[in-house]
Amino acid sequence: RPADALTALFATRLREGTGRPDAVVAAADARTGWDEVPAGLREARHVAEAVAGSAAALGLPAVVRLKDVHLRGLVRLLRENPHVQSFAERELDGLLRTAEPELLEVLRTYLATGRNKSRTAQLHHVSRPALYRRLEAIQGRLGVDLDDFEQAASVHIALLAHDAQQR
């Protein structure tokens, strides 16, 4: 569609012009009338907030839309629910209490890349053995096995909720 091509070109030029290759360009689905524009702006803002700070690790398209945010979008909507807040705090307690914010960053990247150790090491500019040590420290502090899908998914959802609450 011509509108999609134009939007992608805009996103590319924006990133090049600002020198921010990680900038998120969010868009809503097309609207048919002026009275629908406010809802479209809210949708685009929701999309941008759902992926803010995660674009590089997520490998998102040039223009991010609601269909691209998946679980992040849902968690963003539920971020103020006290049960969700309690869940996030409980799951991440072992990391949130420590004075090692870099471990939280490593965990965030590791989960955002689909538990890809090579990509995580690359994004953090560390060797794989160094990454393994950090992942062991994270698992020890959280009391989880990140190789177990359900446990990793639980921690990932908690981290998404934590991040959404911080914004």
pLDDT at position 2: 81
Q: What is the pTM of this model?
A: 0.74
**Position 56 confidence tier, pLDDT thresholds 50, 70, 90:** low
**Position 21 confidence tier, pLDDT thresholds 50, 70, 90:** confident
Which residues belong to CATH 1.10.10.2840 in the chain?
82-166
Rounded to whole angstroms, the Cα distance separating 79 from 25 reads: 22
pLDDT at 89 over 80: yes
pLDDT at 63 over 80: yes
* Fold of the 82-166 domain: Arc Repressor Mutant, subunit A (1.10.10)
Rounded to whole angstroms, the Cα distance separating 8 from 15 reads: 11
Residue 26 bridge partners (DSSP):
64
Rounded to whole angstroms, the Cα distance separating 11 from 14 reads: 5
Contact 84, 161 (CB under 8 A): yes
Task: Please state at what angle helix 101-112 crosses helix 128-142, rounded to 10 degrees.
Answer: 100
Question: What stretch of H or E contains 27?
Answer: none
Which range (5-19, 25-39, 42-56, 102-116) has the least confidence?
42-56
Contact 26, 63 (CB under 8 A): yes
Extract the tokens encoding 41.
Answer: 């702006």
Please give the DSSP secondary-structure letter assigned to residue 32: S
DSSP string of 3-45, one letter each residue: HHHHHHHHHHHHHHHHT-TT---B-PPP-SSGGGHHHHHHHHH
